[in-house]
Amino acid sequence: AQTVTQSQPEMSVQEAETVTLSCTYDTSENNYYLFWYKQPPSRQMILVIRQEAYKQQNATENRFSVNFQKAAKSFSLKISDSQLGDTAMYFCASKGNYGGSQGNLIFGKGTKLSVKP
């Protein structure tokens, strides 16, 4: 079974600074996908960034980037130039690729990020 662990329940960062959120996972799959979702106070789940495990290159999306360490099963999210609007709950998630079946998202418990002015 897949598991996703986020060891930081809460973090804070000053506006314009950089913050890194940690995530580790466990899977027996050879190919899988990893995601970071943002959940602002509105409770909507918004995809921030995704990574396919067979790709060596770390994914980046504007101010968001990941450090994907496949051997260590680590998938951290770096937010550069933090903005007040980044304040939210951040969930790390994994999804297997079970040879054609859908697979489902396995979420971590989340990290509450507060960006301070």
Partner 1 sequence: EPEVTQTPSHQVTQMGQEVILRCVPISNHLYFYWYRQILGQKVEFLVSFYNNEISEKSEIFDDQFSVERPDGSNFTLKIRSTKLEDSAMYFCASSTGTGASSGGYTFGSGTRLTVV
∠ CA 47-57-8, nearest 5°, is: 50
Q: Whose Cβ is closer to partner 1: residue 86's or residue 96's?
A: 96
Q: Whose Cβ is closer to partner 1: residue 26's or residue 81's?
A: 26
Q: How far is the CB of 6 from partner 1 (least distance, A)?
A: 9
Q: Which residues contact 51 (CB under 8 A, 6 or more apart)?
A: 33, 34, 35, 58, 59, 66, 68, 75
Q: Whose Cβ is closer to partner 1: residue 25's or residue 91's?
A: 91
In the complex, the residues that contact partner 1 under the rule CB under 8 A are 33, 35, 37, 42-47, 50-52, 91, 93, 95, 97, 100-110
